[in-house]
Structure 1
Amino acid sequence: MLRADLVAGVALAAIAIPQSMAYAQTAGLPVVSGLYGLLLPLAVYALLGSSRNLMTGPTATTALMVGPALVAISSDPADYPVLAAMMALLVAAAFVLARVFRLGWVADYFSTSVLLGFLTGLALTLLAGQLDEFTGVAVEGDTPLQEYASFLTGFVGQVDQLELLVGGLSLAALMVGARWLPRFPALLAVTVIAIALSWAWDFDGLGVTLVGDIPAGLPALDWPGVGAVQVLQLVPIAIAVALVGFADAILAARSFALDGGRPVDANQELMALAGVNLAAGLSQSFPLGSSGSRTAINVRVGGRTQVVGLVQVAVAAVVLLFLTGVLALLPKATLAAVIIFAALGLIDLQAWRALWRGSRPEFAIAGVLVLGMITIGLLPSLILAVLLSIIDVVRTSAQPRDAVLGWDPVARRFVDVQRRPKARVVPGVVVYRLDDRLFFANSRYFAGRVREAVDGAPHEVRAVVLDAEAVVSLDASGAEGLRKMIEQLRDKGIQFVIARSRRAFDQHLEALGLTDLLPDTSRFPTVRAAVLAMSGVDVEAIPAD
């Protein structure tokens, strides 16, 4: 296992080093800020993280959120490193507060459609931000859409053919490597070849923009000196970075969890991410998160423990101590190609097709989010994403899945009569199932659906049986709606009983005062028992065709 972790650590370092430099460039910071993010922060996660294979460090998501925030606070790029370090400390504080209030459960409520839209919008935003470095075209604009328009306007007359050639060949090599040689360290090879060609052909003299001087040595631990006013300006974006970073980390950790390994603890991850960002802030880096792409590679090359992260720390330290002069020769167009390659990997067309086929409303939500990210910007779109998630939850809960049930003599169980037209409906009884909690948003829908089932029954209805196995909770509005519906049914001479109710639901019935309408004699352990009591028909006696 140790050998596999050592090999995986070296392989991941070869990928993480150029990526981290590229992401620092995306954030408007010196590339060394990205390298610093591979030192102490990775060691802290190795000690505190609950995932054995999650890879942390500089990411495209956090870099993209950090850059615009720094520009909004100061017009002097010299201020950016210290502001970014303070932002990392604020992100750490946000994670600590979330842990104190045990908010790890929030990770279970991120909508798939919102995450898909966010990743696609993030990719389009990353692409827009690299057009200038990749082609030499002067790109202007406050939003990605404006940057695309500016790029198209100036492309013909301003494109630097040599910059485009360097960036284009770098991107092509990365794409060929990913497609045809997935196990080959293409990113390392592209980086080394670009540096070698830059030295051999004097790219600097030819006008190709290089990374330039990188301070050698390890970072000193220091508290960033930022004024109170600027700290307050950084707080909102720090909270947003923490929210998105936590979602990314939990999704990546759970997606790539090793079989038989310990489960990912969401609350422990909050503390681990707090430690990572505290270390980043004190060591002159910027807000860090988890990398889904590097985590996937770690799993693919056989990494089993966080020794992989510690190996990356060692390799990054060697680079900072001895190889900064070599890295200075790396063309910025190659770094732009690294970011563009990563951005293209965020666009999952198959997931978009699946969402279109499976849920048009969710597809629309994802599309709106993408449009928002390229028009109104990242932070407003994050707020929009939260609102869309809430709307989607309310929409789904307001009209939950339900079914009228009939007996299937072949399967020997109650099934949805719409999906199994040959299922037998027991005369005199309507069996109805609700697949959600009963609360204020769906109580009217529930009552209306029961009335529709009664009115549409092919026989005179004497009883309604609610299969309540999936009804996990009941609030006051749901209880009031249930009471009115039961009273209306009784006025028509129809009894209402419950089958397969959970203990929590029964406790809510008692707490909300419904035991007078639904005493113990109105509750049955199985739907079959309820139907037998209401109709005198034992469904087991119904023969199959």
Structure 2
Amino acid sequence: MRIKELTAKNAAKDIFTGIIISLVSIPISMGYAQVSGLPVVYGLYGSIFPILVFGLLSTSKHFIFGVDAAPAALVGAFLAAAGIEGGSEEAVRVIPVISLCVGIWLLLMALFRAGRVVAYISTPVMGGFISGISATIIFMQIPKLLGGTSGRGEIDELVKHMIITCRESFNAPSALLGAAALVILLVSKKLMPKLPVSVFVMIGGAVLGYTGIAQEHGVAMLEDVSSGLPAWRLPEFSSAHFTEILTTSLTVAIVIMAETLLASSSYAAKNGYKLDNDREIFVYGLGNIAASMTGCCPVNGSVSRSAMGEQYGGSSQLMSVAASFSMMLIMLFGTGFIKYLPVPVLTAIVISALLGAVEFHLMKRLFRQDRKELWIFFGAFFGVLVFGTVYGVMIGVVWSFISVIINTANPKRSFLGVIDDHEGFHSLERNTYARQLKKAVIYRFSGNLYFANINTFISDIESALTEHTEAVVIDSGAVCNIDITAADRISELNRTLEEKGIKLYFASHIGSLNDRFRQLGLGGMVEERRCRRTIAAALLDAGIKPPYETASAEKNEVRELPVRSFELIEFEWAFGMAADEKMEKYTEQLLSSINDNTSAEEQLSSIISGERWEGMGDMDHEELLVHIQTHLKELSEKLHISEERIEEAIELEKLSLADRIFKRDPEALKVLREHNRRFDDSLEKNDPEMYERMLAHRREALDNLIRSNPEYSGLIDDFYGK
């Protein structure tokens, strides 16, 4: 814990949050102690020294340690399988031995740097895992709202337990009290998130218990516990069940490591700091050894307590230290009030905190942004809910690796061409004006080549060949490695293409890929200069020189393109299919920036000339003007300039751009004219009224421009067909 990072304000908030956590830990710890097979007081013991060790040594600022569901349930299951009665002297003797073994296993895991495994677990797996644990504990707690006891096991067992509770021990006052407390907590969390309503709810419950109203209606109360701190002693070892204790404790240790590391890593990522994973595992081990010395069951990170700590603004390990000392004071001087706390009220507090830990926001984000990742989230979520913590993590990790395989087997790829007045080679898919070369296929593959994707690679190339193809150039800038299967298939492809008189090249890749080629039997391609530093060098080696011949996308016409340095078509390159939508948003931003501090004519000139977007290319500039034309009325109202005057200024700027484009390349002007025609057709179809108004303004503006700028009359006839 870094004391120097604390401020007086943060320290006060952390201490206050720690006190709340200690109060909320009372029902949680007592309940899970019973689940593990211990008397309830040992749950409170587990909320003193283990959490203090964690607070003093952990690198996690937001996570809380203590008696929790998963280890308690595993230990309880062990007792049942071993035939040991819960709460018995044998259970009190055996469980601390399990805790000690868990601590030793965790220390060994830290020694062997097992924390590295977390790096291979994705955000959806983490989110699904935490949400699954939270949902599981909520289902465990629901029967306590209804007048029953906490459940255990997976979702099928929990649902059965709820049904049995409703049938055999349902208590209406208990359900009403718990529901009312839960509604108050959830509403206050929305309306007053920083107010510690849970404390007031707990006080209100204590009043009902102290006055006897809750007991009169059959509402369950927490058990009375004896005061005093736990005595420290070594667990009593015996040969009985020792083999089973070792295997059970290893399972519990793995669960603690996975659950707590995943959850605390999620909190760390959310709050912008990093954990030392191996140190964290080491601290978990020390915490469990401390638990064993006080007779407690294994302890781990608590999602419910951590969610509550986050809700009340806890931001450092001081929160854990304060919670530990608060529990000490409660055990020394305040155990008398525990028996007045209604179970449904405290259960509602726990459920409220757990609902905050369920990552609904991540679920919504994945639904909007990546449905495949959403399935991974649900895989981890339902894995924990249906099969338990260990299997839930395994399912989530398997889903993650399946996703990796799918993504690498189907990487981003595209065919490249050239654009008028642009250097380099550009995606045919993302650039309207890009044209494929007549004699060469240029193919970009954005991923390593291996057995799962080599068929896609070869199929794409073979389908792109034409009777004119003389060379296939692979833009392998994103290819860092290949496997032996891919190497064999590339060798076969090269031989097949050679038989057709086509040369195969790899270009723009890192030098170490050439070493890999030689290692896997493709050294001949390197020696024959089929691996080139640039695409242009590969084309030149194949005898294809600039200016390049291209084939029209609509007809098989061939034309030469000059390749000169000029601005890229930024919007289309950046946004692809969404370019029109983004250009429209940019147009709206320009209009919203109009103000009364500058003259209307100056602002009109600035908008139309493209001054507000530094570095805008002619093609993008022309596209912007087309979009501005659809906002003539709005622009006129904002600037108090007539629509006719604005249209004339726009058309003059468009003609100036068209003239510059025509002088560089007459063919490019034809492409631009066709693009304008398609835009007009679309506008006529979608908004006939606006189209007619714009057309009337355009006719008038062009007539005026022919008179005022006669040098553009020929261009007007050519560009607009007048």
Q: Which residue of 2 aligns with 1:105?
A: 116
In the alignment, the residues of structure 2 paired with residue 342 and residue 68 of structure 1 have an alpha-carbon distance, to the nearest angstrom, of 26
Instruction: Using the TM superposition, give the Cα deviation of residue 84 of structure 1 relative to its aligned residue in structure 2, in angstroms.
Output: 5.1
- Count the aligned residue pairs: 538
CA distance in structure 1 between the aligned counterparts of 2:158 and 2:356, rounded to whole angstroms = 21
Seq. identity, %: 24
CA deviations on 1:326-352 (whole Å, 9 max, x unpaired) are 223222222322332233234444433
> Within 2, Cα distance between the matches of 1:149 and 1:294?
27
Residue in 1 that maps onto 2:13: 8
Distance 1:420 1:476, change over 3 A: same
Mean Cα displacement is larger for which, 211-220 or 154-163? 154-163
Match of 2:177 in 1: 166
Alignment partner of 1:541 is 2:550: no
Equivalent position of 1:403 in the other structure: 414
The answer to whether structure 1 residue 425 and structure 2 residue 425 are counterparts is no
Deviation at 1:366, TM superposition (A): 4.4
Select the structure of larger CA radius of gyration: 2
Following superposition, the deviation at residue 419 of structure 1 comes to 3.6
CA-CA distance at 1:183 after TM superposition: 0.4
TM-score (norm 2): 0.65
Matched, 1:247 2:288: no
| Larger RCO (CA under 8 A, 6+ residues apart) | 1
Letter in 1 for 2:188: G
**What CA distance in whole angstroms lies between the structure 2 residues aligned with 1:410 and 1:88?**
73
Tell me the secondary structure at the aligned position of residue 470 of structure 1: coil
| Whole-angstrom CA distance in 1 between matches of 2:216 and 2:421 | 81
User: What are the within-5 Å matches in structure 2 for residues 88-167 of structure 1?
Assistant: 88-137=99-148, 143-149=154-160, 151-152=162-163, 155=166, 158-167=169-178
Which structure 1 residue ranges, 5 or more long, are not aligned?
none
Name the structure 2 match of 1:42: 51
1:175 aligns with 2:186: yes
Does the alignment pair 1:222 with 2:228? no
- Aligned mates of 1:412, 1:515 — CA distance in 2: 31
User: CA 1:396–1:175 in structure 2 vs 1: closer, same or farther (change >3 Å)?
Assistant: same
Question: Are 1:453 and 2:483 an aligned pair?
Answer: no
Aligned runs of 1:269-308 on 2, under 5 Å? 269-291=280-302, 305-308=316-319
1:176 partner letter: V
Which deviations, in whole Å up to 9, do the C-alpha atoms of 1:3-62 show, x marking residues without a partner?
Answer: 134213223213322443344314615554444344333343344433445444445565
Hey, what's the Cα distance between the residues in 1 that align with 2:118 and 2:501?
Answer: 47
Which of 299, 324, 349 aligns to 2:335? It is 324
Q: Aligned equivalents of 1:461 and 1:80: distance in 2?
A: 80
Q: Structure 2: give runs of 5+ residues left out of the alignment.
A: 1-5, 549-562, 567-618, 620-667, 669-722
Report the equivalent of 2:479. Answer: 471
* Cα 1:129–1:299 shift into 2, 3 Å: closer
Q: Secondary structure at the match of 2:194?
A: coil
Map 1:259-274 to 2 at 5 A: 263-274=274-285
Contact 1:252/1:290 (8 A) holds in 2: no
Aligned Cα RMSD in Å? 3.8
Mean alpha-carbon deviation: is it higher for 368-377 or for 192-201?
368-377
Contact 1:62 1:289 (C-alpha < 8 Å) held by counterparts: yes
8 A contact 1:500–1:525 mirrored in 2: yes
- The residue identity in structure 2 corresponding to 1:20 is S
**Taking structure 1 as reference, are residues 11 and 362 closer, same or farther at Cα in structure 2, changes over 3 Å only?**
same
In 2, Cα distance between the equivalents of 1:362 and 1:310?
38
